[in-house]
Amino acid sequence: MKIFVCIKQVPDTETKIKISSDNQSIDSTGVKWVMNPYDEYAVEEAIKLKESKPGAQVHAITLGPKARAGEVLRTALAMGADEGILIDAPASLDSTATAKALAAAITKEGDASLVFTGKLAIDDNQSAVSQMIAEFLNIPHTTVVSKFTYGPEAITVERDIEGGAKEVVQMVAPAVVGANKGLNMPRYASLPGIMKAKKKVLKEYSLEALGVSADNKTKTLSLSLPADKPAVKLLSGDSQQQVTALVQLLRDEAKVL
Amino acid sequence: MGKILVFTEYSHGHLKRSAQELLTAARSSGQTVAALAVGSQSATITEELKKYGAQEIHLLKDAQFDQYNPELFTAAICDVVQKSQATAILASASSTGKDLFPRVGARLNSGVLSDCTELRFSGDNIEVTRPLFSGKCFAKATFDISPVKIVLMRANQLPVSESPAASTQTTEHSFSKPDLKTVIKEIVRGTSEKLDLTEANIIVSGGRGLKEAANFKLLNDLADVLGATVGASRAVVDAGWCSHGMQVGQTGKTVAPSLYIAVGVSGAIQHVAGMSGSKVIVAINNDPNAPIFQKATYGIVGDLFDVVPKLTEEFKKVMK
Ligand SMILES: Cc1cc2nc3c(=O)[nH]c(=O)nc-3n(C[C@H](O)[C@H](O)[C@H](O)COP(=O)(O)OP(=O)(O)OC[C@H]3O[C@@H](n4cnc5c(N)ncnc54)[C@H](O)[C@@H]3O)c2cc1C
């Protein structure tokens, strides 16, 4: 059984975002790169499935600039993935182009039984690539998955939807599963795991080798930082006075009631 | 001239506010406004679609569309796009919209801009603003050569107004069920009848300052008076006090209500990432140095167990 997991390297959630002088990308100096948090759930679920299927292998794939993106594969290897595959491509690739390249690599590797992804990359906030990979591979998908069960006939997943409701979905494998928080508790990489991962050779593809162009369907015009908020208005007096003042301000000044 | 197909969601026989927003926006484009509604109840909203200016209405009325299925919906919607010759799709960045339209986009070899907060039409193209890095940065983005331009808008971002079209043409499409590899077995209803956090206009959010799960009753009472939805910080979700569906922040939901009341929430960068787009933020915290006060519009430094019940009573007086 061949299990694929697509992961992305993103700035750590603590990162203070700065914009570079071209106004089209973020300034990456000093940025600490980590695995996209939702992808950690995807990697964990892939490894859990592998552990329950003798002979199964987990292939972690990432797309990103070669100069840095391999590191995220080492993290997945250290957690227990068997192979790391890097697609060397600029960070500016849009969702459609990214999904095409990932799907092409999975097709090239062949025999996917299952593809795990995170439900969303916290950097570009698109939540699109998982579904697009499924479409390009012509297989079913479910995203925002918080429960996964593998059965011989079908896989059963729970998908979180609005209002705290869940859909119970069955799919015929191979399928793409987009992981949500709650799916599992991602393991920490063990020290021996980290040592072993350092030595592993990563497989590499260029976009040309995959027959995919870097043509984007969408483009970024400019980036900006949110406007500074005016300083907070702290309310004074005893708690009853504060509360009365607050309700008045919300009604008469902010007009949100 | 282009044609914009608006995917209109409805519930209980009425258009959702997000659909009203999208139709209002589509009208401002000067392009043909076509509305698509699906499901056996879709014919009940055609009058509303007309009121908001739909010049064409496309219906997929078959009962198979009562339940969202990504494979089925992708196939049927691509069919409607082709038949109607739409050049753009506007949809809500709802659970369904976010799951469905990337797949539609891939099938149409087109670009998708998801979770947008602003929308402008320039000629035949569309420009959007979208938050990146959970709102720590905003991108203005547009389409390059894309056969169909697909934009998913966050709810509660755009104004709504009615303006009926001079005439409306309604088309019912039939679609025979393709072979599906996806089956929706069951929907497990949530416990809440309230609007989802992502659609709510007012949110009352609680953090570790509430001390224990039972104290969320204070927030539920406050939310009931305001017609608000209750949210939570990750700390209390991880502690098991609240379900994950209630989490606001970088690894929870991104919300943008008119009013966000943060109670006993410190305002960690990952929490703020999910709610900084709120129009007005109120912070109630007993630590004057809590980072949440840097994001808040109004703040009360005080003990939430004292302040919140008084606030609930005060709102009762004005919300009548
Ligand atoms: C990768 C990653 C992702 C994360 N994603 C998220 C996310 O999506 N959402 C999120 O919320 N967090 C997220 N976090 C966690 C975040 O860093 C914080 O730990 C969390 O938000 C803190 O929750 P809190 O504000 O409830 O608790 P605390 O930080 O403990 O704050 C409690 C607050 O309550 C106040 N308080 C205590 N008693 C009272 C009282 N009686 N009256 C009034 N105030 C009182 C205190 O002064 C304090 O400010 C993430 C962290 C990481 C590393």
- Which chain A positions have a beta carbon within 8 Å of B190's beta carbon? 163-166
8 Å CB contact between A148 and A45 = yes
Look up the ipTM and state it.
0.94
What is the per-residue pLDDT across B153-206, written as a single tens digit (0 to 9) for each?
A: 998 889 999 999 999 999 999 998 889 999 999 999 876 667 889 889 999 999
How many angstroms separate the CA atoms of A133 and A118, rounded?
12
Task: Retrieve residue A136's tokens.
Answer: 């390009």
Residues sharing a CB contact under 8 Å with residue B34, sequence separation 6 or more, in sequence order? B3, B4, B5, B6, B54, B55, B56, B57, B58, B84, B86
Can you give the pLDDT at residue B191? Answer: 67
C-beta atoms of A132 and B315 within 8 A: no
pTM value?
0.90
Nearest to B110 among A37, A217, A230 (CB): A217
- Taking the domain B3-172, which CATH number applies? 3.40.50.620
Can you give the pLDDT at residue B277? Answer: 87
Mutation site for B-interface testing, chosen from A31, A217, A221 by largest number of B Cβ within 10 Å: A217
The CA distance from B133 to the nearest CA of chain A, in Å, is 4
Mean pLDDT of chain B: 95
How many angstroms separate the CA atoms of B125 and B46, rounded?
28
Can you give the pLDDT at residue A152? Answer: 83
- Taking the domain A2-210, which CATH number applies? 3.40.50.620
How many angstroms separate the CA atoms of A76 and B233, rounded?
28
How many angstroms separate the CA atoms of B295 and B298, rounded?
9
Going residue by residue through chain A (257 aa), what tens digit of pLDDT does each one get?
999 999 999 999 888 999 999 999 999 999 999 999 999 999 999 999 999 999 999 999 999 999 999 999 999 999 999 999 999 999 999 999 999 999 999 999 999 999 999 999 999 999 999 999 999 999 999 999 999 999 988 999 999 998 889 999 999 999 999 999 999 999 999 999 999 999 999 999 999 999 999 999 999 999 999 888 889 999 999 999 999 999 999 999 999 98
Can you give the pLDDT at residue B123? Answer: 87
Mutation site for B-interface testing, chosen from A125, A145, A222 by largest number of B Cβ within 10 Å: A125
3-state SS assignment for residue B171: strand
- Which chain A positions have a beta carbon within 8 Å of B188's beta carbon? 158, 165-168
How many angstroms separate the CA atoms of A213 and B144, rounded?
14
Nearest to B184 among A160, A164, A169 (CB): A169
Mutation site for B-interface testing, chosen from A12, A13, A28 by largest number of B Cβ within 10 Å: A13
Domain B3-172 and domain B202-318, same fold? Reply is yes
How many angstroms separate the CA atoms of A149 and A175, rounded?
13
Report A:45-74 residues touching B (Cβ under 8 A).
none
Can you give the pLDDT at residue B134? Answer: 83
Sequence spans of domains, chain B: 3-172, 202-318
Sequence spans of domains, chain A: 2-210, 227-257
Can you give the pLDDT at residue A45? Answer: 98
Q: Could you tell me the strand order of the sheet in which B202-206 lies?
A: A233-234, B298-301, B280-285, B259-263, B202-206, B229-232
Report A:16-35 residues touching B (Cβ under 8 A).
16-17, 19, 26
Can you give the pLDDT at residue B135? Answer: 84
- Which chain B positions have a beta carbon within 8 Å of A234's beta carbon? 288, 293, 298-301
Residue of chain B nearest A238, judged by CA positions: B302
**Pick from A222, A151, A232, A32: which is nearest to B183 by CA?**
A151
B92 C-alpha to center of ligand 1: Å? 30
| Topology of domain B202-318, CATH | Rossmann fold (3.40.50)
The CA distance from A77 to the nearest CA of chain B, in Å, is 23
B284 C-alpha to center of ligand 1: Å? 13
- Does A226 touch chain B if contact means CB atoms closer than 8 Å? yes
Pocket of ligand 1 (CB under 6 A): A 13, 37; B 207-209, 233-236, 247-252, 264-266, 268, 270-271, 274, 285-287, 290, 303-305
Q: Which residues make beta-bridge pairs with A62?
A: A7, A86
Going residue by residue through chain B (320 aa), what tens digit of pLDDT does each one get?
899 999 999 999 999 999 999 999 999 999 999 999 999 999 999 999 999 999 999 999 999 999 999 999 999 999 999 999 999 999 999 999 999 999 999 999 999 999 999 999 998 899 999 999 988 899 999 999 999 999 999 988 899 999 999 999 999 999 988 899 999 999 998 766 678 898 899 999 999 999 999 999 999 999 999 999 999 999 999 999 999 999 999 999 989 899 999 999 999 999 999 999 899 999 999 999 999 999 999 999 999 999 999 999 999 999 86
B34 C-alpha to center of ligand 1: Å? 45
8 Å CB contact between B261 and B304 = no
